[in-house]
Structure 1
Amino acid sequence: MNVLTLILAGGRERRLGILVSQRAKPALSFAGKYRIIDFALSNCTNSGLRRIAVLPDYRPQPLLDHLGLGGPWDLDRRRPNGLFIWQPFRDEFAEDVYRGTAGALNQNRQRLAEAESDVTMVLSGDQIYTMDYRPLLAAHATRDADLTIGVVPVVPEDVHRFGMVTPDEHQRVHEFHEKPLQTSSRWGSMGIYVFKTAALLRRLAEDARDPASSHEIGLNLIPRMVDQDRVFAYPFHGYWQDVGSLAVYWRTQLGMLLDTPPLDIYNPAWVIHTRSEERPPVKFLPGGEVHQSLVSNGCVVEGQVINSVLSPGVHVRPGAVVRDSIIMRDTDIGSGALVDRCVVDGGVVIEERAQLGIGTDLRPNRTEPDHITDGLTVIGMNAHVPAGIKIGRHCRIDPDVTADDLPGHEIPSGTTIMRRNITNA
């Protein structure tokens, strides 16, 4: 079977707020040393798939820097194999942005045809899971399917977040509804699609000609194929998580700290490959303590780290306490500081005695009340938090904020601090 794999990696997930203000979601760090896209890429290489195209769009540069030529995933290979970057382009027929997921495939329709693959597998680059794709591809071939959809069990209260699939006893799909409010189905799409390439090209051409289409795979392409083609479901019962909100992003990473985590990133038979930075080993100095945490290379720990995840190059200085938090690359946490239940982006400076995420006031964030939840406070990339300041819960400190942008030494819960602009709760 000749397989071409496409990884959609261009979307901006607005529920992640300022964490994706300067990068696409697949480029976000996860579990310290990884990026989210590493999981889809590693699943491909561990499954023996060697011809992969990544389709970036929104703020692609951090993702492209991470991917490079594909060496960490053994994809720096001679054509037709290897890692390819299919960015949107402008010509007389196409815009230089992708309009919908099906639109992204359609803009690359000529590339798809020239690849001469029997099967095209389409993945999302923003999900956390490990999966061997070979049984999925085998099931697709055995059933002579035009489309096979990877599906997971979904509880009733979450059906509005999924494309819901209704298969029969032979897994033939007879109904598909994109993010319904209610449904009797209990199977949700994983965003994993295996297409017979000829069928995909035919349906893309039809969708491109439809002026009423939103050019989305779930909203437009799949319903048409369910009506007219052989579409099957492939149930997956392993761990799978779409980290599509700040709370889920935080909660999923802290789940990796459990004695028996839901996803084993230490499995030597299924390595999660990544572009590792050349960093020195972790250093623990006198007074440094770590409890139930992930600490990456290049970190220096002189204070306490409790139930937290530290990306490469984080410095926790004497007397500082980091608890229930995600701290990204090269953040410096000053002496005596407290960081509690926070998500801190890279390059942040937190000066001595600053206190972040304090108090019991859980009033909603005024700017993003539905996105900043669970008592979390989020600090944007390269922000500078001055000494002695107190910041409550459900706060948002935007990228590049400095002491000059802050209204005082106490920031109440629910406050958003913007660069050169302040919105108080």
Structure 2
Amino acid sequence: MRSNDVLGFIFAGTLDDKIPELAASRTTASVPIGGKYRLIDFVLSNMSNSGINNVGIVAKSNFLSLTDHVGSGSAYDLSKRRSNLTLLTPYGGKSFSNLVETIYNMHGYIEHCREEYVLIEQGNVVTNFDYSALFDFHSKNNADITLVYKKGIIPAGYDRPITIDADASGKVSQIFVKPDNTAEESDFMYGSLLIRKELLMNEIRSALSLNQLDIKRVLQDAVGKFRVFAFENKGYTAFISSINSYFAFNMDLMKKEVRDELFNPKRPIYTKVRDDAPSRYGLESKVKNSIIAQGCVIDGEVENCVISKGVYVGKGAKLSNCIVMQDTKIGTYTNLNYVIIDKDVQIKDGRSLMGFDSYPSYIAKKSVV
């Protein structure tokens, strides 16, 4: 299978309802993460690095931020003569209420694309994944459908998670929806799959004709009818399915082994470039075990924090275990611990705010505290 014969199809709004604070004015895929990235940067970079040239992003609402970030796709090398990045938004009263209808309503776009296969991905997953290994596995096994799974405990926030049962060769014998043993380690299928385009559209049309609108039931029915295989993602993977998982992932970035795996120079993670001056550190500033993006002014103390571009931290301020998004201004002699601060927030002098590692506080975009 040639990588340029695969259409990338990304659902940007995966689990929007599970992070209502962060997704109030944006879709999940455009949530800022790691100081300078958005969630969608990882899946788009994975596709580009694997040779996929044509990508469609399905965004059902709050997609202005996403449109501004991905633009024409040039940051991901997807705006060349034979490359394309398309943002697919609701039109003509079409329904986005479930995946079956959503995919069907995009049939004009999908069938017009020249690619033979479709790679479906979710916009809430952070991983550096080489799809070429998936393509080889799919071809070698003459598979009709290949599901990507992660071995481990099912993340919180998935109301009807999917787990799979497969033999040593990877052939799937059974798919379980909302299994009873969610607290135990299992093969968790998180919504990534590779399928032939013609087969996908045939199954979607068949499901609609039977009023079967649950894509998970469609996958269950496919076992036995088709050659369904499972491919394991063995690398570091984070699922942003709650405010706690969002906080935990950003804190994970303090670990060198996590950064080394996610930001592999052989498979770089691309993002929209914002030209800022280098960050400046005052004479009395102290920074420990933190990620500081460019364009910041740090005059206070920062420890175990992720600080985005253009942030100002005033003199005497103390920040610990915080995530601060871009262009936020933090006043002098403030004390912040376990706080997530959205974009363009102003925290005035002398304020104190504290959450906990299992329940971080959140300050909404453009708030004044």
In the alignment, structure 2 segments of 5+ residues that lack a partner are none
Q: 1:221: Cα distance to partner? A: 2.1
How far apart, in 2, do the equivalents of 1:223 and 1:85 lie? 29
Choose which of 134, 154, 159 in structure 2 pairs with 1:136: 134
Q: 1:12: Cα distance to partner? A: 4.8
Q: 1:220: Cα distance to partner? A: 2.5
**Which has more radius of gyration?**
1
User: Which residue does 2:220 correspond to in 1?
Assistant: 223
User: Which residue does 1:409 correspond to in 2?
Assistant: none
Is the CA contact (8 Å cut-off) linking 1:301 and 1:317 kept in structure 2? yes
User: Which residue does 1:267 correspond to in 2?
Assistant: 264
- Shift of the 160–263 alpha-carbon distance from structure 1 to 2, 3 Å rule, reads farther
Q: 1:154: Cα distance to partner? A: 2.3
- Shift of the 262–102 alpha-carbon distance from structure 1 to 2, 3 Å rule, reads farther
Choose which of 31, 34, 46 in structure 1 pairs with 2:34: 31
Q: SS of 1:260's equivalent?
A: helix
Moved more, 100-109 or 263-272: 263-272
Determine whether 1:380 maps to 2:364.
yes
Letter of the structure 2 residue corresponding to residue 165 of structure 1:
I
Q: 1:99: Cα distance to partner? A: 2.1
Letter of the structure 1 residue corresponding to residue 8 of structure 2:
T
Choose which of 86, 89, 114 in structure 1 pairs with 2:88: 86
How far apart, in 1, do the equivalents of 2:14 and 2:163 lie? 21
Choose which of 148, 151, 158 in structure 2 pairs with 1:150: 148
Is the CA contact (8 Å cut-off) linking 1:164 and 1:185 kept in structure 2? no
Deviations 1:141-187 (A, max 9, x none): 22221110001112379797631011122211111122222379821
Letter of the structure 2 residue corresponding to residue 103 of structure 1:
E
User: Which residue does 1:74 correspond to in 2?
Assistant: 77
Q: 1:16: Cα distance to partner? A: 1.6
Q: SS of 1:193's equivalent?
A: strand
Q: Identity over aligned residues, as a percent?
A: 24
Determine whether 1:202 maps to 2:205.
no
Choose which of 98, 105, 118 in structure 2 pairs with 1:107: 105
Moved more, 235-244 or 155-164: 155-164
Deviations 1:100-133 (A, max 9, x none): 1232211111222221322111111211100000
User: Which residue does 2:121 correspond to in 1?
Assistant: 123
Letter of the structure 2 residue corresponding to residue 15 of structure 1:
K
How far apart, in 2, do the equivalents of 1:292 and 1:181 lie? 40
Determine whether 1:177 maps to 2:161.
no
User: Which residue does 2:298 correspond to in 1?
Assistant: 301
Normalised to the residue count of structure 1, the TM-score between the two structures is 0.81
Moved more, 19-28 or 111-120: 111-120
User: Which residue does 2:25 correspond to in 1?
Assistant: 22
Letter of the structure 2 residue corresponding to residue 4 of structure 1:
L
Letter of the structure 1 residue corresponding to residue 145 of structure 2:
L
Letter of the structure 2 residue corresponding to residue 207 of structure 1:
A
Determine whether 1:348 maps to 2:350.
no
Letter of the structure 2 residue corresponding to residue 374 of structure 1:
S
Moved more, 176-185 or 124-133: 176-185
Q: 1:263: Cα distance to partner? A: 5.5
Deviations 1:68-122 (A, max 9, x none): 000100111225x2111222221xxxx3341212322111112222213221111
User: Which residue does 2:59 correspond to in 1?
Assistant: 56
How far apart, in 2, do the equivalents of 1:322 and 1:157 lie? 28
Q: SS of 2:21's equivalent?
A: helix
- Shift of the 222–108 alpha-carbon distance from structure 1 to 2, 3 Å rule, reads same
Letter of the structure 1 residue corresponding to residue 208 of structure 2:
A
Deviations 1:42-64 (A, max 9, x none): 10111111111111112111001
Is the CA contact (8 Å cut-off) linking 2:154 and 2:161 kept in structure 1? no
User: Which residue does 1:420 correspond to in 2?
Assistant: none
Letter of the structure 1 residue corresponding to residue 280 of structure 2:
K
How far apart, in 2, do the equivalents of 1:106 and 1:185 lie? 34
User: Which residue does 2:239 correspond to in 1?
Assistant: 242
Counterparts of 1:392-407 in structure 2, within 5 Å, are none
Q: SS of 1:20's equivalent?
A: coil
Is the CA contact (8 Å cut-off) linking 2:155 and 2:241 kept in structure 1? no
Aligned length: 364
Letter of the structure 2 residue corresponding to residue 180 of structure 1:
P
Q: SS of 1:54's equivalent?
A: strand
Is the CA contact (8 Å cut-off) linking 1:239 and 1:262 kept in structure 2? no
Choose which of 1, 7, 10 in structure 2 pairs with 1:7: 10
Letter of the structure 1 residue corresponding to residue 205 of structure 2:
A
- Shift of the 375–3 alpha-carbon distance from structure 1 to 2, 3 Å rule, reads closer
RMSD: 2.0
- Shift of the 55–263 alpha-carbon distance from structure 1 to 2, 3 Å rule, reads farther
User: Which residue does 2:281 correspond to in 1?
Assistant: 284
In the alignment, structure 1 segments of 5+ residues that lack a partner are 363-372, 386-425
User: Which residue does 2:94 correspond to in 1?
Assistant: 96
How far apart, in 1, do the equivalents of 2:256 and 2:86 lie? 38
